[in-house]
Chain A
Amino acid sequence: MSTPNTRRVVIEPLTRVEGHGKVTLLLDENNQVEQARLHIVEFRGFERFIQGRPFWELPVLVQRLCGICPVSHHLCAAKAVDGIVGAEDLPLTAEKMRRLMHYGQMYQSHALHFFYLASPDLLFGFDAPVEKRNVIGVIAEYPDLAVQGVMMRKFGQEVIKATAGKKVHGTGAIPGGINKNLSIEERDFLLQDMDKMVEWSRAAVRIAKDYTLDNLEAVAGFGSFDSNHLSLVRQDGAMDLYDGNLRAVDSVGDTIIDQVSPLDYLEVIAEEVRPWSYMKFPFLKSVGPEEGWYRVGPLARINTCDFIDTPEAEAARKDFLSLTEGQPSNVTMAYHWARMIEALHAAEKIQLLLHDADLQGEDLVADFGGRREEYVAILEAPRGTLLHHYKVDENDQVTMANLIVSTTCNNEPMNRTVQKIASDSISGAPEITEGLLNNIEVGIRAYDPCLSCATHALGQMPLEVTLVDRQGRLIDRLARPE
């Protein structure tokens, strides 16, 4: 039982996010938020049960973590396996096919999030009636926009199908390369809609931008706080979603780490475990667990890169950063705008690749060099930086896996967002309204969290809800959610 003067408010389930989670707030007698926690109540255990499997299975096996961005896991595992077989330089066709797959993934996932999950909040307002504030409401009131969202997602999935063989859970990337090229028929099929996709992406950037600017006063502080930002960048500092080295900047853009090879991630990143969540809490070691947490994903990527190597997205990036005079944006709700800039970037990249004859090449797999027993790969998944670290034995069996997924990186930021929003909008209110509760979901939703991906590690604790007082003393515990 809670103490007589405290009230426990549970928001469960969180809606319109990938996976399942819930939020627990502890209110004191004055309805002030004493504590806010995002609980992840899913459990995967991939790191444990892939032990013993042959390493070439990994790209297809680990992508089953998720049905929304399996391509990210597929490609990240493939890159790690490339390292294990000693495939140093992939043939151009293989590298570009993988990139095409990845941009298709980025495009469909961002479209899904923006149009299906987030747009109801942005179009109707956070306090709009719940029966209207959903994708059906968007279809009813903004049918053209809804169709665009559906068609954009479909296009991204068609790109995935053309490169991986299936729209979900394909098999394209194999150790050292890819198992197919892009046929002329597949290319021409995709090119039919390409111009429209770029045009719609452009329009989506405009919607996200207009929303942010029109509501700047309201969104600027909404769940926002200064934070570090981390992502991959290319050698020249360009945004690179598929490959690169780690860079982290602080809230004003000063460099914390730069051009750190994925192989050296353990030197710069550590993970903290807290007893109340299946999700770990990663942090930059040089800054420490208290202040070293960082944000990943579209907002972080826009903040960390020096430029984007496609013209329209680069112009949109400059436009985005002009609001903060070139410094990193720490506005949580600006994730949406950043996400649509990336969707535009992905569309531009897909367009370039579809006109690249290398995709019809026949050289699909690299020669294998020296075999390694351990490798680390990182790529930028739609939701942020994704890391796969594997060790294999002399029989080709996996002996260790460590997956640090983007939602895990955003764990602390999401908790901060919940705390901030709860403190700002719920504290002191005698009634907890649907709109107020939804503010918390809107804040979490900005990160586009994938809760199923983020709970892949094997934990020991049973699922439980805990209540603690200010001194951290346990005052209530439930073995299962109510």
Chain B
Amino acid sequence: MSDRISLTIDGRQIEAEPGQTILEAAEEAGVYIPRLCWMKGLSAFGSCRVCTVRVNGRPQSACTQPAAPGMVVENDTQELRELRRSLIDMLFIEGNHFCMFCEKSGDCELQALAYRLGITAPQYPFMFPQRELDATHPEIFVDRNRCILCGRCVRASQELDGKHVFGFVGRGAGKKVAVNAESGLGGTDAAGDDEAVAACPTGSLLKKRVGFAVPVGQRRFDHQPIGSEIEQAQSEE
């Protein structure tokens, strides 16, 4: 056990395996650090910055920063909650996220994070961008209105499915997820049961004709906030 790393998070001492990130160590200790672009089983990407924590006073993304001995990590502070709220706000306003008729509502990590952070309405003006919906594939579709550019589909397709269906094109406000066929999703080798489809945290990449099959009350976040399972897992031990 001598090689285990000791650090504190919000004043609580936790331990980490060498090579673990702050986010992984925190999760193992039952501390939830909000995240969107990070997903267990995929390489870390560090793009959404929702998992930003202060490490010895400096902002770092918890999903990419390895845990180190003696680190003093701040996670659940007023300042960081507000910063995260602003990030989530910006993700909402730069896309077209209409939860009221989105079939991912209740299962959506973006929506669930907004609820957890107490967002009732965005503080910034909506940008209402023009985005396309690609429904050319018989089993799945991409609604880019709801894409937050987390890259989970990109990595899952490469790392888990062994395909390269998705990738980023463009820069800045013009950046978007593209597919590796000029004719659209229907021209790719993507399939309905690809991990890439399941990896989407929002309602951007979905299986067709599933819709609202899960009733209200039985959806993932209907009864408890996102992250509760991490916090509860620790308290039950």
A→B interface (CB under 8 Å): 52-54, 56-57, 59-61, 64, 85, 164-166, 169-172, 174-175, 179-180, 395-397
Contact = CB atoms under 8 A, between A and B. Distances in A.
A414 to B, nearest CB: 30
B136 interface: yes
B173 interface: no
Given A56-B209, A174-B211, A397-B135, A166 B103 contact: no
Contact of B101 (A52, A64, A85): A64
A164 B215 CA distance: 8
Nearest to A53: B133
Contacts of B215: 165, 171-172, 179-180
A52 B212 contact: no
A41 B217 CA distance: 37
Nearest to B214: A179
Interface in B74-129: 100-101, 103
B184 to A, nearest CB: 9
Contact of B213 (A64, A170, A179): A179
Contacts of A166: 216
A96 to B, nearest CB: 16
Instruction: Report whether over half of chain A's contact residues are helix, strand or loop; otherwise say mixed.
Output: loop
Contact of A396 (B135, B214, B217): B135
A57 B214 CA distance: 13
B224 to A, nearest CB: 17
A335 to B, nearest CB: 32
B38 interface: no
Given A179-B212, A179-B213, A396-B209, A54 B101 contact: no
B188 to A, nearest CB: 14
Contacts of A175: 209, 211
Contacts of A169: 100
B141 A174 contact: no
A279 to B, nearest CB: 24
Interface in B44-75: none
Contact of B133 (A61, A165, A397): A397
B75 to A, nearest CB: 34
Given A54-B135, A180-B218, 18 more contacts: A52-B133, A54-B133, A56-B212, A57-B101, A57-B103, A60-B101, A85-B209, A165-B217, A169-B100, A170-B216, A174-B211, A175-B211, A179-B212, A180-B215, A395-B141, A395-B186, A396-B141, A396-B209
A101 to B, nearest CB: 12
B12 interface: no
Contacts of A54: 133, 135, 141, 208, 211
B212 A171 contact: yes
Given A395-B136, A397-B133, A165 B216 contact: yes
Nearest to B143: A54
Interface residues of B, number: 19
A182 to B, nearest CB: 11
A64 B100 contact: yes
Contacts of B103: 56-57, 60
A172 B218 CA distance: 12
Max count, chain A CB within 10 A of own CB: residue among B135, B210, B215: B215
A232 to B, nearest CB: 26
Closest 9 CB pairs of A and B: A165-B216, A56-B211, A171-B212, A395-B135, A61-B101, A180-B215, A179-B215, A60-B101, A165-B215
18 contacts: A54-B208, A54-B211, A56-B208, A56-B209, A57-B103, A59-B212, A60-B101, A60-B211, A64-B100, A85-B209, A164-B216, A166-B216, A170-B216, A171-B215, A172-B215, A395-B135, A395-B136, A396-B135
A59 B101 CA distance: 9
Contacts of B209: 56, 85, 175, 396
Nearest to B218: A180
Interface string B186-220: 10000000000000000000001111111111100
A60 B215 CA distance: 12
Max count, chain B CB within 10 A of own CB: residue among A53, A54, A59: A54
Contacts of B208: 54, 56, 396
A56 B208 CA distance: 9
Contacts of B136: 395
Given A395-B136, A396-B135, A397-B133, A174 B213 contact: yes
A395 B136 CA distance: 6
Nearest to A181: B215
Contacts of B210: 56
Given A54-B141, A165-B217, A169-B100, A60 B212 contact: yes
A264 to B, nearest CB: 28
B126 to A, nearest CB: 15
A397 B218 CA distance: 27
Interface string B129-145: 00001011000010000
B164 to A, nearest CB: 23
A237 to B, nearest CB: 35
Contacts of B213: 174, 179
Contacts of B217: 165
Nearest to A63: B101
Contacts of B214: 179
Contacts of A59: 212
A93 to B, nearest CB: 13
Nearest to A169: B100
A55 to B, nearest CB: 9
Nearest to B186: A395
A61 B143 CA distance: 15
A180 B217 CA distance: 10
Contacts of B216: 164-166, 170-171
A52 B141 CA distance: 12
A164 B103 CA distance: 14
A85 to B, nearest CB: 8
